[in-house]
Structure formats: structure tokens, C-alpha cells
Structure 1
Amino acid sequence: MTRHRVALGTVQETLLIPLYGRAVESRKAEPALRDPRAEEIVASLDYDFARFDGLPSLAGTVLRTALFDAWVRDFLTAHPDGTVVEIGAGLNTRFERVDNGTARWLEFDLPDVIALRRALVAGTARRRTAAASVTGTSWADEAVALGGGGPYFLAAEAVLPFLTEREAHGVVELMAARFPGSLLALDTAGPGIVGAQESHDALSRVEARMRWACAAPADLETRHPGTRIAASHTLTSLPRDLHDNLPEAYREMLRTLTEQRLPQVEQYHLTLLGLPPRP
């Protein structure tokens, strides 16, 4: 098997944490999600993944991905020919897990990530990749060219917290302007998380640090008039159908976390935003 060298920027390296989380999860007898492609990618990379072994945050990344997957599935059920835009796609394999055979997908990230991604994941007429910064505008042009009039589902998983507050809100403003009425899935970290990253089990093992502290998802509605929160969850308040279908080990872990009410759990929100409709 060809082993691919990993040479990624500081923030980009964080994509390896959820990738490894999915691969580890997929190997379990009773997984919260199955992702054999993630297993294959991890096996093909020349990287010391052992630094992440046994970290509680791996389970958190799996639950986050499972919720984003559920939201994308719901979107594709309602809009089989819609367009999914993976913002800061990293080595995400959501296409392999939830594609319906008719939707269009744009997966974009910074050039070093896309170079690695293209060596590992083949594009198709419906599935395209692009090298672009989320703070720029070229990715939006690519998405419009691919999806035409939409509808669009924008997935920003583990991306916006690593921007400055001004950059993060600028990205939301761009999305609202270019993709009116679309759905945006994102995660936000509160001040207690952003201020304690040196002791975070996973982030303390890489150099990247989150910069945007969002106290509450409702701040997005205030900052961006016309947006609406369609759904918002912490890991301990996942949708009932998702929670009830998790393996018992996960349900027991979540019961314990609910009792503990840890800031690093309760201040981390997974939110589905409805962007303002076209005027």
C-alpha cells in the first residue's frame, strides 16, 4: 500500500483528529457510525495517529459527525437534487456515508489539504473539489456554478471556531448573501472552551488553537438578522432519535456527562441555521 506523507499547516492538521475518530469508531463491533473509507485513509497516511489514542474527544467528533450526517440526510430526502457544500472539507467522507446518487457535492479546503485529498479521493461530475479559503469568495463562485439555483446545504464542521470572530461572522454574511434561504450546519465553542485549550485532551497535542468564542448560538441570530436557528444541540442534548440509536456505551457516557455538566461539553453547540431568504 502507498503511504502518503502528511505535510499540513497548523490548523489543517486538526482534520486528522475527526478522521482518526471515525476510523477507530468504524472498527468497533457496535459503532455509532460505520466509515470503512476513513479506515482505509488512516492506513494509507504516514502519520503518528497514536498520539490521539484513547482521547475522550474522539467520541465527541464521532457524535458531531453523526448529527451533521443526519442533517444532510434530511436535506437530501427533501431535496434529492440539491447541492451539499463541505466547507473546510478536510478528509471528510460524508459523501461515502450519505450520498443519494443524485445530489451534487463541492468539497473545498486550503491548497495543502486539497492536494492530499485529491491523492486519496477521486472526484466525479457530481462531486468536485476546490482549493480555496473559507474567508475568500472563490468557493462560493464554484458552488453556484455547480449547484445553479440550489437548494444548498452548507456544512462547516470544526472550521469556524478556528477563525477570528470577525472572520467567522464575515463568512456567515457571505453565505447569507450568496446562498439565501439555505441551511448552514456549524459548531461553536464557548469562552470556557476557547480559554482552556492548553488542557484540552486533543488540541493540546497539536499547535492549532480556536480563536472565536461564541457564548451562545442565539448570538448568531442577533448578529445576522433574518437568520433562524432550526436546531441546536450539545452532545448531551442530541435529537432523541439519534441518541436512542447509539450503542449503549455511548448512551451511558452521555448519561454521565449530563450529570457532570462539564463546561467543555455544555458550551459546545452544534447548530443548524436557516439563512435569511432572498429579499
Structure 2
Amino acid sequence: MPDTHPASPSGAPKHVPELGEIQETLLIPLYARALETRKRHGMLSDPKAVEMVESLDYDFSRFDGARSLVGSNLRTLLFDHWVRAFLQEHPGGTVVELGTGLNTRFERLDTGHVHWFDLDLPDVTALRRRYFTDTDRRRTLALSVTDPAWTDAVRESPGPYFLAAEAVLIYLPEDQVRDVFRMIAARLPGARLALETASSHMIDGQDRHDVLSKVAARMVWRCDDPAAPAAWHPSVTLEDTRTFARLPAEVRRAVPQPTRALLSLLARVRRADIEAYRFNVYGFGDRTG
């Protein structure tokens, strides 16, 4: 009997995503953005995320009701804020999404001049190509973040460079993260890198996490002090660090008041949980390039 899959709203059969354990986690922020878009007054709008969720044969309902979906969207807004600020200063610069998943940041922030790379492993890029097409300013790279080959491609693009690694490096062991930092320092001097860090408190509690407990992947890199990576190379500095309780004003304005109130409450009564997950921007030396 032939395999059959549910139909999407367009009538086409849904596609079963064939992804590795870590790569499967990309479906979490995708679903979070889709749910937020369906709200009447959501904190973000991403019709492409809705389209992709509706086209995939995957049990997204396992994540329903998880408070971490709100956190995923807050993280997306914060990374959007950082990339937007970079593009306001350098509209023709280059943005690299490291471990891009099914991200749609280019659709939200394209200046008409920015050069953009979406980097991820081959199974993810194969899935991305169902929904996104390369252009003269936007390219997809089927490479690991640990592979120096991606920096060769990026160096051919106009600088300066902003690298966004959203929900990526925390799944790697520290020695690999350190190698990525050193590679960027050596090959892309002047770049900035945005990523999140998870403390031992969060790593140790992830089996009870409302979303991660539903998938096989686990965070590996423990970082109790976001300033620690600055010791890995002389050119690295920590330029900014945030928590959900300390978001930039632009991001806070996009967040509904009940969510802002909840974050303020959590910062008082569950401070360890709030401080355990941080969002950071690192600089790699002179940014005059």
C-alpha cells in the first residue's frame, strides 16, 4: 500500500521533515512564530512560518501550551533588534545566519542592499530549499558551523559582518564552540557574533524543560559567565548581554503587557532561572573593515 501523508491547506501532500536530533529543534522556533502570527495582536508576524508549519507532516502539538514558545519569540525579536541595528549602521554589510534552520529573518529585515548567508547542515538546507530560493544577495550554504569553508564564502562578501547563531552553539561541546570563536577571530576580524549561553543551572534542568523534554537533543555547552569566551582569543570582547528580564526598549515595546509583567515577576521570584539563559553579542576586534 503506498505511503500517504495528510494534505496541506493547498491540497498538496505534507512533507515529512527528515532531520537529525539537534536539527529537529529548528521546528520549535518555527512553530512558535507560526502560533504568534495566528494571534490577533501577536508580538511578531511571520506568514511564511505559518505556511511552512501547515506544509509539514510533524506533530507540532507536542509543544502546545509550552511557555518556552513565548521565550523563543522573545529571543527572535532580540536577535532581530541586533541585526536591524547592524543594518542601520551598515545597510550593505553581510549577515550570516549560523544554523539558520527555517528562519525568516531576511524576510523581516532585508534592506534591499544587505548580503546574506543562510548556513546549516545538508539535511536542513535541503528542507530550506523547498521554501527559499537563492538570489544574488542571499545564498544558502550546506555546511557545519565548525567547517572553516563557510568563512571563505563570507570573506568574498562585503564587510563588515554580523553573525547570528540563534539556538545553535549551546548544542555543541565547549571545545567546538571555542574553535568557532577562534576561527571567526582569525578569519573574520571585525565581525560581531550574537548567540545565547546556558548556565549549568539550565543544563542540569533541561530534562524537565517544557519543550526540550519533548525532543531528543540536549544542550551541551555550559557557560556560567558569558564573559568567559573573551578569554579564548585576545580580540574577543563581550559587547552586550541580556536576559528576558532586561530586553532593549525596542523589544519590550513589541511584547504584550501581560508578558512583560510575567517576566518582571519571574525576575523577582525565579531569578536563577532568568539569569541561567543569556543572550550576548561578542566583538572580534576592529570593526573598520
- TM-score per shorter chain, which class? over 0.9
Counterpart CA distance in 2 for 1:53 and 1:250 is 17
Indicate the residue corresponding to 1:277 in structure 2. 286
User: What letter is aligned with 2:29?
Assistant: P
Indicate the residue corresponding to 2:84 in structure 1. 73
Counterpart CA distance in 1 for 2:254 and 2:67 is 20
Deviation at residue 195 of structure 1 after TM alignment: 1.3
Unmatched 5+ stretches in structure 2: 1-9
Which residue of 23, 29, 33 corresponds with 1:12?
23
Per-residue CA deviations over 1:94-132 (Å, capped at 9, x if unaligned) read 011111111010001000000000011122111110100
Larger Rg: 2
User: What secondary structure sits across from 1:215 in the alignment?
Assistant: coil
Indicate the residue corresponding to 2:269 in structure 1. 260
The worse-fitting range, judged by mean Cα deviation, of 160-169 and 33-42 is: 33-42
Counterpart CA distance in 1 for 2:63 and 2:192 is 32
User: What secondary structure sits across from 1:119 in the alignment?
Assistant: coil
Are 1:108 and 2:119 counterparts?
A: yes
Q: How does 1:8-157 map to 2 (within 5 A)?
A: 8-145=19-156, 147-148=157-158, 150-157=159-166
Counterpart CA distance in 2 for 1:234 and 1:224 is 25
The worse-fitting range, judged by mean Cα deviation, of 121-130 and 255-264 is: 255-264
Per-residue CA deviations over 1:19-68 (Å, capped at 9, x if unaligned) read 11111111111211111111111111111100011101101110011000
Q: Percent identity?
A: 49
Deviation at residue 229 of structure 1 after TM alignment: 1.8
Which residue of 192, 199, 205 corresponds with 2:208?
199
The worse-fitting range, judged by mean Cα deviation, of 120-129 and 151-160 is: 120-129
Per-residue CA deviations over 1:138-172 (Å, capped at 9, x if unaligned) read 11112122x14x11100000000000000011101
Counterpart CA distance in 1 for 2:75 and 2:142 is 24
Counterpart CA distance in 1 for 2:271 and 2:17 is 34
User: What secondary structure sits across from 1:153 in the alignment?
Assistant: strand
Unmatched 5+ stretches in structure 1: none
User: What letter is aligned with 2:184?
Assistant: M
User: What secondary structure sits across from 2:69 in the alignment?
Assistant: helix
Counterpart CA distance in 1 for 2:262 and 2:109 is 26
- Using the size of structure 1 for normalisation, the TM-score is 0.96
Deviation at residue 223 of structure 1 after TM alignment: 2.7
- Using the size of structure 2 for normalisation, the TM-score is 0.92
Are 1:214 and 2:219 counterparts?
A: no
Deviation at residue 225 of structure 1 after TM alignment: 2.3
Counterpart CA distance in 1 for 2:92 and 2:250 is 25
User: What letter is aligned with 2:32?
Assistant: G
Superposition CA RMSD, Å = 1.4
User: What letter is aligned with 1:266?
Assistant: E
The worse-fitting range, judged by mean Cα deviation, of 258-267 and 16-25 is: 258-267
Indicate the residue corresponding to 2:188 in structure 1. 179
The worse-fitting range, judged by mean Cα deviation, of 220-229 and 203-212 is: 220-229
User: What letter is aligned with 1:160?
Assistant: L
Counterpart CA distance in 2 for 1:38 and 1:275 is 33
User: What secondary structure sits across from 1:235 in the alignment?
Assistant: coil
Counterpart CA distance in 2 for 1:46 and 1:63 is 26
Counterpart CA distance in 1 for 2:18 and 2:272 is 33
Higher helix share: 1
The total of aligned residue pairs comes to 277
